[in-house]
Amino acid sequence: MSEFPHYSALSLRLSDEPDPAWKVHSIAVNRKAAGEDVIVLSIGEPDSPPPPAVLAEIEASIARGRTRYSNARGEDNVIEAICRYTSKQAGRTIEPDMVNFFPGAQTALFGMLMTIVGPGDGLIVPEPFYAPYTQVLGATGVEVGHIALKPEHGFHPSIDELRAAITPRTRAMVITNPHNPTGAVLTRDELTAIAELCREHDMWLVADEVYNEFIYTGEFTSILALEGYEDRTIALGTLSKSYAMTGFRHGWAVGPAAVGARAAVLLEAMLFGCVQFIQDAGAVALSDDGAFPRAERAKYLRRLDLIMAELQGAATISPRRPEAGMFVMIDIRPTGLDAETFAMRLLDEEKVAVLPTHTFGPSGAGHVRISLGMDDDTLVEAARRIRRFADVL
């Protein structure tokens, strides 16, 4: 007799083990729920509510009956809003047939990768990278090649190392810009060099650009703004961070019209349309001309300054000032502890939860990540606890 049940190869490529990236975070959340005075800085959840106009639109949209089946690629109003938003970043006109709406940027990455690569193909992703993407990459069945983003280079990639990682099977490269967890921002020259590599080797270039509104050093350049590479670039965006709409699951992918049409077929197979009133709320958010993200950026920059002031000068830890984003990486290598041991002892002894970033890739070893998504006073208290813990190591 044959064995039963049977599972698909795609399903078996996905691990059913708990993601080690969130081990310390899960313990901390459970302890906080049990009443302990735990400060949780291990997840990137904005502390602001969504804009009032967004919340009002949810109610108004439902009252208008916007609870029906919707267009698989996205409702006209939100597609048009995304076009206006991304056209400003691109410095050119983004047409509706270049946009697909997805329930969040992670789903957008999944959908676009399932459209452009598959089993037997190669794909390059610099590491460390956002840990939940591991399962997304695994689902495609591609052979993933990594290059290290090294602390001594500010976590910026080496073009020579990227070139060396390309094989005859490589079909795409995925970058995160601004980067999570490191906060590095690629320059236009770096992006152009990466895009040129992709053109030389007939590869797609996919960029997760979800932190583009929170730039502190330099300027953000979208891959959509690179002239001459429009036929192979796909940019992913979301309102989760910039408009504090994490639970709305509001994201998109922008790329050539032909790949958009292929992705639309996948969307029809998977979803056949996302929630209408959620899309309406997103269209309203994007109509504010960036006022809400500008206020969020100012808040995070203020908090960043507070954190740096508390942690700089410590003997055994060193905060790395990010170029963008809502996280701070702390170099804990001088303590002699690995990142998970540091994080667990910090949680046990000072009741602060941080994220060990070795789970994001080997180059994250010796570092922990903290989120700026907490009020000023709590962040300062957390920083003082972290320093107090580190000073006795």
- Whose structure tokens read 């709409």? 245
Return per-residue pLDDT of the chain as tens, 393 residues: 567 888 898 898 988 887 777 899 999 999 999 999 999 999 989 999 999 999 999 999 999 999 999 999 999 999 999 999 999 999 999 999 999 999 999 999 999 999 999 999 999 999 999 988 999 999 999 999 999 999 999 999 999 999 999 999 999 999 999 999 999 999 999 999 999 999 999 999 999 999 999 999 999 999 999 999 999 999 999 999 999 999 999 999 999 999 999 999 999 998 888 999 999 999 999 999 999 999 999 999 999 999 999 999 999 999 999 999 999 999 999 999 999 999 999 999 999 999 999 989 999 999 999 999 999 999 999 999 999 999 998
CA end-to-end span of the chain: 60
Which CATH class, in words, describes the domain spanning 52-286? alpha beta
Domain ranges of the chain: 9-49+291-391, 52-286
Give the Å distances, CA to CA, from 115 to 108, 167, 172: 11, 20, 11
HSE-CB of 168 using CA atoms within 13 angstroms: 0
Amino acid type, 231: D
Give the Å distances, CA to CA, from 382 to 37, 125, 336, 349, 391: 11, 33, 21, 12, 14
Under CATH, what is the fold of the domain 9-49+291-391? Aspartate Aminotransferase, domain 1 (3.90.1150)
Confirm whether 9-49+291-391 and 52-286 share one CATH topology.
no
d(CA 382, CA 371): 11
d(CA 210, CA 180): 9
With CA atoms as reference, report the closest residue to 316 among 330, 303, 299: 330
d(CA 41, CA 25): 8
Is the CB of residue 311 less than 8 Å from the CB of residue 386? yes
